[in-house]
Structure 1
Amino acid sequence: MSVARYTTAMTATQGPREIELRAFRTVNAMLAGAGDDVTARTKALAKNYELWSLLLADLVHPDNGLPRDLKARLVSLALWSREESDRAIGDAARSLEPLRAVNRDMIEALEAQAKAASAGKPPAQERPASLAATA
């Protein structure tokens, strides 16, 4: 199966939340598995930067329907994550745990929304734990 056909099939069977969950899980696994391997670390950080860049583009799009306050907090988090990814690429001693923690918070929030949606509840406007402290 070609990549284009696979991508089309995947997006036809998964909603945006599931795709975001898969992306965060994949990136976090890459960050966790990088260890001392400079190439793996650089690839993982580049993917993390790319993921947050895609989210940032969606957040600032005029059709994004998230509440303004939540959007602003997520934009701030996206900018921080991109900057931290850049800093970590340039500093091999820099811990990747802060990036992984933010991504875990996003995974937890997306999982909670998926659980609520599957239970037939309206989606809650939950904040990732990393954003709750700034509220």
Structure 2
Amino acid sequence: MDKVIPFLMFQDGKAEEAMNFYASLIEDSAITSIVRYGANQGGDEGTVMQATFTLKGQEFMCIDSNVKHQFAFTPSFSIYAVCHTEEEIDALYEKLKEDRQALMPLGDYGFSKKFGWVNDRYGVSWQLNLV
């Protein structure tokens, strides 16, 4: 085995949009490769057949599913981000939340000085922790 990589399956052609959003929020992040569906390839032409991106050096893979599933993302899997300043955690939380579901509003829950858990506009769950 070479490595283990988190894999995100987006529906409705949102993979590239989500990758761009995440890379814009977190420094030292980038889309590293995109392979798109072409004409007659089983997915909507131009959507993501397979892509990789990094967030602060952590590699992720993602796709746009060409099959509509009865399931989506669940908070039981989340991206956990360690923040080092109040400004960083506050800004990241607000950008990810943007009228979406706050599972745990930013606060002191006893195990952290400041912690928040939110589902973003794509349904991906994020835990943010101030250390």
Q: If the length of structure 1 is used for normalisation, what is the TM-score?
A: 0.28
Q: Which has the higher strand share?
A: 2
Q: If the length of structure 2 is used for normalisation, what is the TM-score?
A: 0.29
Q: Which has the higher helix share?
A: 1
